[in-house]
Amino acid sequence: MNQITIHTSSLFDSHRKCFVSDTSIIIDKTTGLIRRVYQRNSPPPDNYAVEPASIDLRGFTVLPGLVDAHTHVFLHPYSEVSSINQMRDESLVERVVRATNHAKAALMAGYTTYRDLGTEGLRDADVHFRDTINRGIIPGPRIFVATECIASSGGYEIRQENSLDGVGTSVPRISDPADGVDGVRAAVRRRLGAGADIVKFYADYRKRTLRYPQPSWPGAEEILFPPSSDILDGRRNPNVLLFTQEEMNAMVSEAKRSGAPIAAHAQSPEAVIMAAEAGVTSVEHGFMPSDEALEAMKENDTIFVPTLAVLHAVTGGSEKVMRTVLGHTKAAYDKGIKLAAGGDTGAFAHGENVLELELMAEAKIPIPDILQAATLHGWESCGGDLCARRFGYLGEGFAADIIAVDGDPISDFSAMRKVRFVMKDGMIFKDENYRMPIMYRGIDRTGRNKYTT
């Protein structure tokens, strides 16, 4: 039998931002795509016995698989180990093994797609990690990778004081440095040639760390009378523009000419404006309040990924910071800017991805819009039809990425933490309620995922 039917009583339509009742989904097992979605004429009784090769998800809320639009699968929480120690001191083997655990944790939490925006010191290892998932060797979300991000000379790199040639310690490269219009075009070509699905560049970054270095080893002395380190307006290590407008324009042009989406790390209003005007697919972070930055994103149809969760993690949930940033995110929503949900996951734990959605809810964004940001808009941030596969919506021709949560997210958003069922590409990875009368997912002798009856 080449198809499965899933019966639902409440299903989220991510196009219309509404829930529909008594809907069934027919899935083609061969392609992993949805063949048909239809509403039943009348709801079956509670004791209705579903037919063979069908799954009964009535009583749950069914949604498209979730998309985390900003992740780093090779990172684990900074509260455990700082980013510099992870990049500098953890071995390749340890980081890959950790990433394997991260991928499974994300999938079990209902995240069937990751947009992974930089390996943070592991060069192009994300390409091969992506392929292990695509080959069915390990479970995890489908991943769209950026390999190394692009920055200007000295723009995004590990800063350390013990760096004299021949004397100091060495550190891994964490970006692909490029300068000038020809140089940045070449960098985009290098990234795509290395296997990147998406290009990411740093429009700005805090590159003056060594002007007022903070203590970074036991016993290190603090600088006397340093400027404020406030993340919003401090001058100790402010964001600095890394590229000219012409350089940003060239990167966007080259990526689009090659059929690839492009994302910009941009925190300051100036960087957001320049990246949006260059035509990037998405702006990441952009947390400093600015009407001009919002207007630039709106005018250029830029997707905004506010990464609220990482700010919550690194500031300890500072009331001042979060109030300001949540207000700015709500202003973006009110202006009609398209939002995608990505938490910069990795700086906080994989599997806790839904924190980003909870913070969007705290910003007073309507729940249906949050769910759309975490599904359909996530697909669009990955490139939409450039992805070569449609997901984020439960409709004909889209990937059979389907999750079920226990409860109603509209009345109680904590339901999003109660994921009971996860299907990706028509394969079931989680089913806590054993609602499959005949079909189940097995592993064959080669270790590849398959269905058995």
In the chain, the N- to C-terminal Cα span, in Å, equals: 9
Domain spanning 66-214+225-387: CATH 3.20.20.10: no
State which fold the 3-64+394-452 domain adopts. Urease, subunit C; domain 1 (2.30.40)
Give the span between the Cα atoms of 60 and 314, in whole angstroms. 35
Do the domains 3-64+394-452 and 66-214+225-387 sit in the same CATH topology, yes or no? no
Give the span between the Cα atoms of 70 and 115, in whole angstroms. 6
Helices (H), 135-261: 180-193, 245-257
Give the span between the Cα atoms of 205 and 187, in whole angstroms. 18
Give the span between the Cα atoms of 280 and 277, in whole angstroms. 8
For the chain, the structural domain boundaries read: 3-64+394-452, 66-214+225-387
Q: Is the pLDDT of residue 441 over 60?
A: no
Find the mean pLDDT for residues 23-51.
81
Q: Is the pLDDT of residue 445 over 70?
A: no
Q: What is the pLDDT of residues 207-236, one digit of tens each?
A: 999 999 999 899 999 999 999 999 998 999
Q: What is the pLDDT of residues 39-70, one digit of tens each?
A: 998 555 555 555 668 999 999 999 999 999 99
Strand order in the sheet with 150-151: 176-177, 150-151, 199-202, 262-266, 282-285, 303-305
Of 213-222, 270-279, 304-313, the least confident: 213-222
Output the pLDDT for position 444: 38
SS (H, E, C) 388-409: CCCCCCCCCCCECCEEEECCCC
Q: What is the pLDDT of residues 141-168, one digit of tens each?
A: 999 999 999 999 999 999 999 988 889 9
Give the span between the Cα atoms of 152 and 423, in whole angstroms. 41
Q: Is the pLDDT of residue 79 over 50?
A: yes
Indicate the pTM of the whole model: 0.94
Two structure tokens written together for 249: 């324009």
Question: Which residues are CB-contacts of 405 (< 8 A; sequence separation ≥ 6)?
Answer: 60, 61, 63, 110, 415, 416, 418, 419, 420
